Chain A
Amino acid sequence: MSAAASLQVLLEAGQPVAGHRPWPRIVVTTELWHAVIEGLAGGGWTLLGLWGEPGMVHLAAHEAASGFIGVASLPCPDGCFPSVGRLHPPAQRLERALADLVGLQPIDAPDARPWLDHGRWPVRHPLGAASAPAEATSPYPFLSAEGESLHQIPVGPVHAGIIEPGHFRFTANGEAVVRLEERLGYVHKGIEALLAGAPLERAARLVGRVSGDSTVAYALAFARAVEAATETAIPARAHGLRALMAELERLANHCGDIGAICNDAAFALMLAQCAVLREQVLRASAACFGHRLLMDSIVPGGVATDLPADGVHLLRALVAEIRRQFPPLVELYDNTASLQNRTASTGFVRPDLIRQFGCGGTIGRAGGRDFDARRQPGYPPYEQLKFEIPARTDSDVNARIWLRIGEVEQSLALIEQLLEQLPMGPVCVEVRQPGQPCEGVALVEGFRGDILVWLRLAADGTVARCHPRDPSWFQWPLLEAAIENNIVADFPLCNKSFNGSYSGHDL
């Protein structure tokens, strides 16, 4: 296999699966599987997801040069598959999770430790041939760091703030962090198992709760995957309202994050002001669509609620209000040297790591990777809207704050355009009954980055298998790199500037 071959050409050698939409899924041989891994490791394409089901492992990849997205599926009759993580580190945690959940073993994997399975479940391999758990579980072996005068600081799973649980093991030399190792999985809720066999309505509610802060983006990705699988076309107004909700979610979260990052540098004024903006967005969302976080507002087939009569007016007033209140806050950030002293050059992430991990969202775009799923692969109605994708290359906490500031401005402009161009008509249609098993996949840009949802529907329209992949999978590992050589006291700043999802990652 030549390394120069494109992903699409490479996959043409495999067996395409009928009824997988909109991008192809190809059953590959072991030889092809290796070629796909080599392409990932060589930087030819980016890993979008890696998941499994009994007897089969799936890998989704994206080729930036051509925009091609494909899923490679390798049958694993022996219960094992050649490790992707061996050559391509971004796959390691996905592979460990897959081994825990499905029981398929990656051959020659560099890290054989469990990831989501903490030895507390009543079953082993819940998505595979479920069996009784092992009798005794050994303590989780953390990676070692050796050297003179090093000390360890264990943090979590219960943290000091109002945040999600996870464990961080710091090894420090005085104040400087030598190594950070994350241990996640504490909020694993078994969502994939709950999804198997669920009717569409229940499945949409579940996927909408994979990560509460991204409920719109998850519901949108799920709905788009269902609509792709069943070839359901939705009304133009539904597309417009979905984008409106997605931008409201982005706006609310970015406002909250900008304040929260500054607060972790003890600049509470910014948090107080930004929290007011966030609250105004949530109130407008509730007034327009009936839920502050917009949960269950997007459903397969369209949206659950239309904008009320005064909705356009309400949202225009919101945009005007934020346009009035936000610039002085940006100026405040820009003019407060003591605050920037904390954020500039802190938590630098190497752009080559960002590219390798396919790290999306503000972290990726602040570090030279200008990927945004609204542009590529793109989805309606964004092709009709004018917007810029802010990008930087300085890749530190400061850059990630400015990225969010830029995206707040873009979201405001998008909301205005959407209100201007909102088509009239119905907002929801019935999802077509598939009649036979079918598969769908979707990639959607949430406020945190690109969310992948893959699913297979049974002939009766229920979900046979669904795998949602959070952007955090490719962001959490980079936090370990970002904190290196920073002081322990800057960890909250770095962590908040990433704002990875625990729940979305743990599933």
Chain B
Amino acid sequence: MRKLLLQNLWRSPLTIAAPAPSAAALAELGVKVDQAARRRLGRSLAIREVDAGSCNGCELEIHALNNAYYDLERFGLRFVASPRHADVLLVTGPVTANMREALERTYAATPDPKWVVAVGDCGRDGGVFAGSYACVGGVSAVIPVDVHIPGCPPTPMQLLEGLLALLQVQRW
């Protein structure tokens, strides 16, 4: 194990350069985030991921944000285990009827000020599952959404761009 750790110390990091914040996400956010919220949260955000019906494709790519290439924590963004510790809810999937209440309760358990990021084409409007008896639609059909990150699933780079837009807005 020591050998592996040493090698990793000597090797140049795998981590890629940060992308520019997504212009679309910035535009969407610009009108929604108020000054007071930005002051209180500083430049660090705790994220609670909620799968509200996803096929788990989005979860795989959200997981990838933690790998050495994307290294989400360098931006002050980290995943937390409870909505009570979270500033941001990262919600995936078409919201299923069976998950609706759990999502509402998770939102209620998240302290204000809070943001909701809807991830994936399903999180936007239900995606390929739109119209099913078992789905209520996109995330915004159940809780207010501040940013959408489209894609099926969005790549880790697209996720980073969307999340960095949140931090960018805070810096204004």
A residues apposed to B, CB below 8 Å = 118, 120-123, 126, 157-158, 160-165, 185-191, 193-194, 202, 205-206, 209-213, 215, 256, 269, 272-273, 275-276, 278-279, 282, 286, 292-293, 295, 328-329, 332, 335-336, 501-503
Contact = CB atoms under 8 A, between A and B. Distances in A.
Interface string B34-63: 000000000000000111111111111111
B4 A502 contact: no
B9 interface: no
A165 B56 CA distance: 10
B129 A190 contact: yes
Nearest to B97: A120
B133 A121 contact: yes
Given A120-B97, A275-B67, A295-B57, A190 B135 contact: yes
The list of the 9 closest CB pairs from A to B, nearest first, reads A212-B57, A190-B134, A190-B132, A160-B81, A275-B67, A212-B55, A120-B97, A209-B55, A212-B56
B107 to A, nearest CB: 11
Interface residues of B, number: 49
Contact of B56 (A185, A292, A332, A501): A501
B6 interface: no
B66 interface: yes
30 contacts: A120-B98, A121-B133, A158-B50, A161-B81, A162-B59, A163-B51, A164-B54, A165-B52, A187-B54, A187-B93, A187-B96, A189-B55, A189-B96, A189-B134, A189-B135, A190-B133, A191-B129, A191-B132, A193-B133, A209-B57, A209-B128, A212-B57, A256-B63, A269-B4, A272-B67, A275-B68, A279-B67, A293-B61, A295-B57, A328-B4
Interface string B59-99: 11111101111000000000101110000000001101111
Contact of B58 (A121, A160, A212): A212
B113 interface: no
B140 interface: no
Given A158-B50, A279-B64, A205 B128 contact: yes
A120 B97 CA distance: 6
B51 A120 contact: no
Nearest to A202: B128
Given A122-B133, A276-B68, A206 B128 contact: yes
Nearest to A259: B67
B133 A332 contact: no
B168 interface: no
Contact of B96 (A123, A188, A293): A188
Contacts of A205: 128
Given A187-B96, A276-B14, A279-B67, A213 B50 contact: no
B133 A503 contact: no
A162 B1 CA distance: 27
A443 B4 CA distance: 41
Given A120-B98, A189-B94, A190-B135, A502 B56 contact: yes
Nearest to A123: B133
Given A157-B99, A164-B51, A189-B53, A213 B134 contact: no
A249 to B, nearest CB: 11
Given A186-B53, A213-B57, A293-B153, 8 more contacts: A118-B98, A120-B101, A121-B133, A165-B102, A185-B98, A189-B94, A189-B135, A329-B4
Contact of A163 (B1, B59, B61, B99): B59
Given A158-B102, A293-B153, A336 B133 contact: no
A350 B4 CA distance: 36
A186 B56 contact: no
B94 A120 contact: no
Contacts of B56: 164, 211-213, 501-503
A133 to B, nearest CB: 10
